[in-house]
Structure 1
Amino acid sequence: MAARAVILGCAGPELSEDERRFFAAADPWGFILFARNIETPEQTRALTRALRDSVGRDAPVLVDQEGGRVARLRGPVWREWAPALEECAGLPVAARARAMHLRYRLIAGELAEIGIDVNCAPVLDLARAETHGILLNRCYSGDPAEVAAMGRAVAEGLLAGGVLPILKHMPGQGRAPLDSHRELPVVEAEAAALEAADFAPFRALADMPMAMSAHVVYRALDPERPATQSPRVIGMIRESIGFDGLLMTDDLSMQALKGDFGERAARALDAGCDMVLHCNGVAGEMAAVVAAVPRLAGRARARAEAALARRGGAPGESAAFEAEYRALAAGASAHA
């Protein structure tokens, strides 16, 4: 029997008995961890094992480990990183892609060691004057070609280290002037401008296994519904951008979306998303989402299976990767 088309969070660093029973019955496709769930390597390995044991299979476990402000694994236990926009700007153009590949190869090694096999990166949104501060320094550049190059370096670094990447926030959130955690952003740009710039990095990485939708209204595509719940935008992602991988929602508990949690989930799946994501581990909200979400079937199931088939790679020699990365960073500093 196929898993349910949902990814869920849990409340703390250990699973409660209630959570074990709920996950066993709900059978989510995967799980996502946040800082509240991560204390030490040993504890996190135990938690990822417990999550998989609750559903009786090797379910994917996700995290947001971009480095910089959005990092669920923090120092001194794990490596700390500069925000991506600052790091890319501080490196010579010729060194940027290699440095980002190494950065995420190292991140992949840390994640794989504690049982995490999916990372919510790369960020393919364009840095613009109007980009909200919640997102701005997580971007790589304002140039679509450079964002695509950095994004591929990030994705391939993760894949080489045995961790699946998730492209975000499809089809591009850089023009959003509001924080979708708190309210619904509206982008007024014309379709031609979006096609030429914002969508280009996603089109360049359309071969990747997974992507996350944006809770953003694009007036030129659908004047009323956010991308996550818009058949028009999801259709454009599949046809114009050419992405046929697993498309999951951003977090359903973000305030950009309206309605009860079952409605939020159903609207996203009806629009063409393959999978819904609920992050905060609140039991009542999770129960409402699960009640509205079917088991994977058809193209959504095939995409999920194809994504998991790309798990592999190996952590590699982290000392060698780190030495090369530090040499690139030192060279940049010497020429600053």
Structure 2
Amino acid sequence: MTARTSALYGCSGVELTDWERSFFRDQRPWGYILFGRNIDSPDQVRALTAALREASDDPDAPVFIDQEGGPVARLRRPHFRHPPAPRRFAELYADDPEAAAEASWLNARLMADEMKSLGINADCAPMLDVVQPSAHEFLQERALGSDPETVTVLGKATALGLREGGVAPCVKHAPGHGRGDADSHHDLPRVSASRKVLEQTDFVPFLALKKEAMLMTAHVLYEDIDADRPGTLSPLVVRELIRESWGYQGLILTDDINMNALGGTIEERSRAALEAGCEIICHCNAEPADMESVARAAIELTGPTKERADRARSIAAGSPKPFDRGEAEERLKQLRLYEAAA
């Protein structure tokens, strides 16, 4: 197979532009990511995912989406089921842990069933952030819980449901965004808690799911670990903590490199992320100038990084296990967790 570069790109609309086709052909990115701007109808999404893979001559290219449920769901009505917010499963867990774990698996399995049918084979989920009361409101609905046990149980169930549906999960935002006091799309969150406290809480779900094939970093400044650089750009966070201390052996992706939590140019951020130990640069806004900046920093996937990337790719290319969609839908309706509230 032709060598792939260490980047994951978005595209601008419901079909590829001529520029995008040419860019993807020349750059040979490892994968792609879709957003609401790329979603119209089932047939249109199938055509778009096929076109992305054709553009880079890569029939097994991972095509990601952010399908968490609730406020972060790119697939939603009228053409698709709009999954409930992760917080709803955490609320059920407080009353009935077994039912909540079952519901999380069923919900993820249904999401995977829908994604796979559209040519989408990777999901930026589950979110393993242990949300704290001080966290920015944008995290509250997205969190699977406010304690490590709840997040771990529901995160495991979600990841399993995705994998059994032939969709590769990417856990996020490591080493934990649950104390973030800002929305990293706009500002840099800072975490002042000690590493010891983080080890007892925030890190726990990530360690429990460290065998998952992909992990996404957080654009968060952890003052007790690296007071100068946000997690995504910090060798102390990526190499020393996640790779060495945790022993994580999967592929490490950045969160969107274009987010305002990070300083410097897009090219500088991309190079710094790779130097810190990230392996795939995720770029989402589909602006050609920014994509060209990422491309100047991206490198070919070789050695252990390629092995990790190939492992993730094999999960994304896998066939779903047998599944009765009707039974799953009925059970989630019984639990009042089939769709997001209107």
Relative to the length of structure 1, the TM-score reads 0.96
**Structure 1 portions without partners, runs of 5+:** 331-336
Out of 286, 290, 294, the position equivalent to 1:289 is 294
Match of 2:174 in 1: 170
Deviation at 1:241, TM superposition (A): 2.1
Out of 322, 325, 331, the position equivalent to 1:324 is 331
Give, as a single letter, the amino acid of the residue that structure 2 aligns with 1:126. V
* DSSP 3-state at the match of 1:20: helix
Give, as a single letter, the amino acid of the residue that structure 2 aligns with 1:50. A
Pair 1:198 & 2:202 matched: yes
Match of 1:298 in 2: 303
Which stretches of structure 1, 4 residues or longer, exceed 3 Å deviation after superposition?
none
* DSSP 3-state at the match of 1:155: helix
* CA-to-aligned-CA distance 1:228-254 (integer Å, 9 cap, x gap): 010000120112222110000000110
Give, as a single letter, the amino acid of the residue that structure 2 aligns with 1:135. L
* DSSP 3-state at the match of 1:303: helix
Match of 2:130 in 1: 126
CA distance in 1, matches of 2:182, 2:254: 18
Match of 1:333 in 2: none
Q: How does 1:241-260 map to 2 (within 5 A)?
A: 241-260=246-265
* CA-to-aligned-CA distance 1:303-335 (integer Å, 9 cap, x gap): 1011112232416221121122223338xxxxx
Match of 1:49 in 2: 50
CA distance in 1, matches of 2:336, 2:88: 12
CA distance in 1, matches of 2:332, 2:165: 15
Deviation at 1:87, TM superposition (A): 3.3
Deviation at 1:38, TM superposition (A): 0.5
Pair 1:113 & 2:117 matched: yes
Deviation at 1:212, TM superposition (A): 0.4
Deviation at 1:80, TM superposition (A): 1.7
Q: Which deviates further from its counterpart, 91-100 or 216-225?
A: 91-100
Pair 1:187 & 2:191 matched: yes
CA distance in 2, matches of 1:16, 1:82: 33
Deviation at 1:131, TM superposition (A): 1.1
* CA-to-aligned-CA distance 1:116-174 (integer Å, 9 cap, x gap): 00001001001211111111111011110111110000000000000000000011000
CA contact under 8 A between 2:32 and 2:64: conserved in structure 1? yes
Give, as a single letter, the amino acid of the residue that structure 1 aligns with 2:328. F
CA contact under 8 A between 1:159 and 1:313: conserved in structure 2? no
Match of 2:274 in 1: 269
Deviation at 1:278, TM superposition (A): 0.2
Q: Which deviates further from its counterpart, 153-162 or 137-146?
A: 137-146
Match of 2:8 in 1: 7
CA distance in 2, matches of 1:87, 1:306: 30
Pair 1:308 & 2:310 matched: no
Q: How does 1:199-238 map to 2 (within 5 A)?
A: 199-234=203-238, 235-238=240-243
Out of 54, 69, 72, the position equivalent to 2:74 is 72
Deviation at 1:88, TM superposition (A): 2.5
* DSSP 3-state at the match of 2:294: helix
State the superposition RMSD in angstroms: 1.2
Q: Which deviates further from its counterpart, 110-119 or 71-80?
A: 71-80
CA contact under 8 A between 1:177 and 1:185: conserved in structure 2? yes
Q: Which deviates further from its counterpart, 194-203 or 74-83?
A: 74-83
CA distance in 1, matches of 2:97, 2:26: 50
Q: Which deviates further from its counterpart, 100-109 or 303-312?
A: 303-312
CA contact under 8 A between 1:131 and 1:176: conserved in structure 2? yes
Give, as a single letter, the amino acid of the residue that structure 1 aligns with 2:330. A
Match of 2:99 in 1: 95
CA contact under 8 A between 2:176 and 2:218: conserved in structure 1? yes
CA distance in 1, matches of 2:314, 2:12: 29
For these two proteins, the number of residue pairs brought into alignment is 330
* DSSP 3-state at the match of 2:136: coil
Match of 2:153 in 1: 149
CA distance in 2, matches of 1:298, 1:134: 38
Match of 2:283 in 1: 278
Match of 2:340 in 1: none
CA contact under 8 A between 2:235 and 2:275: conserved in structure 1? yes
